Chains A and B, each alone.
Chain A
C-alpha cells in the first residue's frame, strides 16, 4: 500500500503501513534542546522544549514556545546590516536602511531571510525533528545523568500538545535507560496524560491558581481539567513535583496561597510528603518577547523579595508540604 499522509501540514509519501507508523510517530516540533539543565527535575538533565502551548500565561518565560507554528526571532544586537534578508524577502518585511525594521505583519515565516542571515540575527524558532534525533541528542549526556541521578525533561511549550511524539521520545529514552520527566500545565484530556504515563518517571506539574476564573483570566484557560488531572495523577505510580510560579500581585496573596495549600493537602492521602517547587517570578524572559514581536504584559513588575519568598515557603512547610525554591 502506498499513499500520502499529512504531518504538521506537509505531504509525506509512504510505502506501507509500517512506514506510516514510523513517519507518523517520529516527528515532532521542538524549539530547543538544552543540556546541563539543573532546575528541571533531579540531577543533571537535558531539557527538550516542544513548541506550542494551549495556555497564554502573562508571565510565560518561553514566549517563543507558545505558538505551535515556526516563528522568526530577531536579535537586533546581532544584525550587521548586510542587507541580504531584505534582498530575499519577497514581502518586504525586512527593511535595512537608515533604520533596521522587521515588519512582522508582512512576514509569512517562509524562513528565506533566516537562511541568508549568517550573523544569526534572524533565527527560525522551531524545527521538525524525529524522535530518534531527539533521543540520540539526549543520550549524549547519559553518563552525566547516571552519575547525578538526572535524565531527560520534556518541557515547552506544552509537551502534551504533541502526545505521540512525547510518548515516543519518552519511550525511546526509557529504552536507553534514561530517567524521564515532563513539565506540564496539565491542560489536556486525561487519556492523553494516561498515554504517556507508562514511559514516565516524574511529572513536574504546574499549579498557577485554584480559582478557575483567575486561571482563565491570566492564562487564557479555565483550570477544572487541570486540577482534576492532578487529582487522578496523584493516585498513579509516578513521581510528582508540583511547580508553583509565584507571580507578585497575581497569585501570591494570602487568600491564593491558602487555597493552594488546602487543595494540595486535599490529596495528601494519596501521597505524602508532597513536593512543591516554588518558582519565584523573574524578568529574564522580557527581552525574548521583543525578539518575537510580542508584547510583555507584565512590564515593570518586580520580583518578590527574598524575605517574602522565605515567608511563603515557611507557610507551606508549616502546613506540612515539602516546599523548596528553585
Chain B
C-alpha cells in the first residue's frame, strides 16, 4: 500500500486551519440567517416573489456575521448555511418520515431552545410556500411516503453553476448582460426578474467588499508583518473579485469561492449537494498561466488549494454537503481534459485527507497513463476517492436523453452520481425516490402492507391464486406503475410550488440561459430540465422473483401459501425455508444469467417507464439506481422478501447485489451489474466495489486495480467507487473512534469520516467491505 506521510514536524498553515475546522462541531449560524430571512420577508411583504427572494439574500449578505480566521488566505464561509433538518443519517432512523419540509425538533441536537425553533418553523409554515406545500399530499400520498414506497422532495442545491463565467467576466460583466436584456423587455414580470438578478449580484459584490474592509481593518491592527501583508492582499483581492474578471490563480480561487458560497447562502438552510463540478476546467487556465509566467510556484498553488478545500468541510454535516469536484474527462470537443489543476486537486486531497470536497474522476480511454496511475495510487490511500465515472456510458446516456453532444461532454456530478451539465441543467436530482422492494411486498399480499396491514396499493390479486410466474410479474408491474403515477403527480405539484415561490435570482445569474430567456433557474430558465427518480431494491426484487420462479413454479419445492405465510411472519420458525430461498435459487451478482437477466429486464422496464413521465415544467423524468444510504432507511419499511431478507433488513445498495449474496468476487459482480446497459439509467447509478489492501499491493497491485477499473468501464460501467480498506480496521475504529478521527471512507456518493457516521450506516459499510462489495 502506498504510504503518504501526513505527519510533518512543523504544522503547516493548512494543517492549522484543518485542526481548527475539525474541532468545530456545532453550527448554529443557520438559525441567525433564518431570523434575517424572516426580517426581510416582513419588510418586503406585498412585493413580487422574485424581488423578495433577492432582497432576502441581500439582507443576509449585508447583515450576517463575517469572519476572517487566523491563517486564512481564502475568505468567506458556508458554516452558517446548513440546518440540521436533513436528518438522513442523524440517528433515530425508526422515526424517519422523510426530510423535505422545514425543521424538525433539533433543539437538543444543536442547543437552540425549542420555542425559538418552533417560532421559526411556524413562520415558514404559515408563509405561502409552507401553506401550499402542506396541502399537496393526499392521505394516500402520505401513507405511501410513510411506508417508503416512494418519496418526493422540493430539490434545493444539487446544481453546478457556471462559476467559470464569474471568473472570466466577473459579476459586473454578468450585470451588464442583465441590464442589456432588461432594456429589451417590456413586461413587468421579466423586468422584476432582471431587477432581482441585479439586486443579488450587487449584494454579492458588496458582500465581498465587507470582507475587503474587514481584512484591511484587521491588517491595520496586525502586528505580525507577514500576516499583515497577507491581510492587505486579501483586502485587494476581495475589492476586485467577484465583481471583476480574475487576473490570476489567487483571485480565481477567491472569486470561485464567493460565487459558490453566495449561491449556498441563497438557499440556506438546505443548499444540499451544491457541487463545484469541473473545477479543474474552470480553474486550470488560471493556474497554467500563473505557472507558465512564473507568477506562482507549485507549492504556493497547493497551499491555496488546500485552503480552498478546507472551506468545504462543515463539521459533521457530511450528509448535507456532498460537494462533488469532478476531474479529468473530456473537453467539449472530445479531447482529454486533464490538466495541471487535475493533478493539483488530487495532490490536495491526498495531503489534506478531508472527506470534502468529494472527488470524482471521469475515466475514458484517452486519459494519459501517468494520470491514471496517479488516480490508482490515490485510490490505494483507502478513502474511497476519487469515485470513477465512465465517460462513454455517461455521455451516451445524456445524448440519448436529449443533451447536445458538446454539452454532454461537459458533465459534472451534483452530489453523488447524478450527471449534470455545468451551468446548464436543472436536474432536480433528488426529486423522487422509488422503492421496488416495497412494491414487490405489496404484490405478494394483494396490495396490503405487511408492515402495517394497510391497503396501500391496488388489489392485484391474492398470490395464492397465482397460476404462473407471469401472474406474479403482472401483479408486481401493476404495483410499480400505480405508485410511479402517484409519485410523479405528487412531485409535480411540489415542484410547481418550488418554482413559483422559491426563485433563485443569484443562481439564475451565474447559470447559463436564464438571463437569455428571462426565466428563473427553478422555472424553465436552465437549458435542460429533468427530474430524477432514484430506484431502490433492484437486487432484492430480482433475487426474490427468481426464487419464486424457480422454487414455487418450476421445482414446486415451496408452495405459494407457505411462502406468503413465512413472509408475513418474518420467517419466524421458518429458517429452513429462508435458507432454501437463499441457497437454492441463484443470486444477482454472481454472473449467473438466469437471475442477472431478470434484473436487467426489470431495470430496463422500470427505466423506460420512468423516462416516459414529464415533470411540471415539461422536462423528462430520468431513472437512476442510486441509493444514498437510503437503501438502509427504506429497508426499515419493507417486510420480509423472498430473497431470504428479513423484514426491516437493509436493501441492496444501488445497482449492486444484495450484501453477502455475491460470492464470486469482484469480476463476477462487475459482469453481473453491467448486463443491464448502464446508459439506460440516465440519472446515474451507484455501484461500490470494496477491495482488500492486499488485493492491490505494490506496483503490480496498482496495475491490477487499473485493469479492473478499465474492464468495468469496457463492460459499459457508468460509475464505481472503490473502498480499499480492511474490515478489521473499521471494526477497530468503531471500538476506538478516538484513534481514527481521520479515517475517511466512502459512504455512497461522497466520503465521510467513518467515526462520525451513524452506527447503522457504519454497519452497512462494514458489511459491504466484508463481502467485497
Which of A's residues lie within 8 Å of B, judged by CB? 34-36, 38, 42-44, 80, 82, 84, 118-120, 140-141, 143-144, 147-150
Contacts and interface: CB of A to CB of B under 8 A. Distances in A.
B708 A34 contact: no
A144 B667 contact: yes
B668 A35 contact: yes
Contact of A143 (B575, B579, B695, B714): B714
Given A36-B668, A44-B667, A44-B708, 10 more contacts: A35-B668, A38-B704, A43-B707, A80-B575, A80-B576, A144-B707, A147-B714, A148-B708, A148-B711, A149-B703
A140 B666 CA distance: 13
Given A38-B695, A43-B707, A44-B707, A118 B671 contact: no
23 contacts: A35-B665, A35-B668, A38-B704, A44-B707, A80-B575, A80-B576, A80-B579, A82-B575, A118-B576, A118-B584, A119-B576, A119-B583, A140-B667, A141-B667, A143-B714, A144-B708, A144-B711, A147-B707, A148-B703, A148-B707, A148-B708, A149-B703, A149-B707
Contacts, number: 65
Contact of B704 (A44, A80, A118): A44
**Nearest 4 interchain pairs by C-beta:** A148-B707, A36-B665, A118-B580, A119-B579
Given A143-B714, A143-B715, A148-B707, A36 B580 contact: no
A118 B711 contact: no
B667 A118 contact: no
Contacts of B584: 118
A87 B701 CA distance: 50
B665 A82 contact: no
B664 interface: yes
Interface of B: 575-576, 579-580, 583-584, 591, 664-668, 671, 695, 700-701, 703-704, 707-708, 710-711, 714-715
A202 B700 CA distance: 17
B562 to A, nearest CB: 14
Contacts of B701: 38
Contacts of A150: 707
Contact of B591 (A38, A43, A118, A140): A140
Give the interface SS of chain B, mostly helix, strand, loop or mixed: helix
A36 B667 contact: yes
B93 to A, nearest CB: 29
B587 to A, nearest CB: 13
Contacts of A143: 711, 714-715
A323 to B, nearest CB: 14
A103 to B, nearest CB: 23
Nearest to A137: B591
Nearest to B710: A147
Contacts of B591: 35, 140
A279 B671 CA distance: 31
Contacts of B576: 80, 82, 84, 118-119
A44 B711 CA distance: 11
A36 B701 CA distance: 12
Which of A35, A36, A143 is most buried by chain B, counting CB atoms within 10 A of its CB? A36
Nearest to B580: A118
A82 B591 CA distance: 30
Nearest to A84: B576
Contacts of B665: 34-36
A153 B664 CA distance: 16
Contacts of B667: 35-36, 44, 140-141, 144
A150 B664 CA distance: 17
A118 B579 contact: yes
A143 B583 CA distance: 29
A254 B701 CA distance: 31
Nearest to A80: B575
Contacts of A38: 695, 701, 704
A271 to B, nearest CB: 21
Contact of A140 (B583, B671, B695, B707): B671
Which of A82, A118, A141, A150 is most buried by chain B, counting CB atoms within 10 A of its CB? A118
B583 A148 contact: no
A143 B670 CA distance: 11
Contacts of A140: 591, 667-668, 671
Which of B667, B703, B714 is most buried by chain A, counting CB atoms within 10 A of its CB? B667
Nearest to B713: A147
A118 B583 contact: yes
A172 B360 CA distance: 41
A36 B666 contact: yes
Contacts of B700: 42
Nearest to B692: A38
Contacts of A147: 707, 710-711, 714
A126 B541 CA distance: 32
A82 B664 CA distance: 27
Which of B583, B707, B710 is most buried by chain A, counting CB atoms within 10 A of its CB? B707
A82 to B, nearest CB: 5
A38 B665 CA distance: 11
Which of A38, A42, A84 is most buried by chain B, counting CB atoms within 10 A of its CB? A38
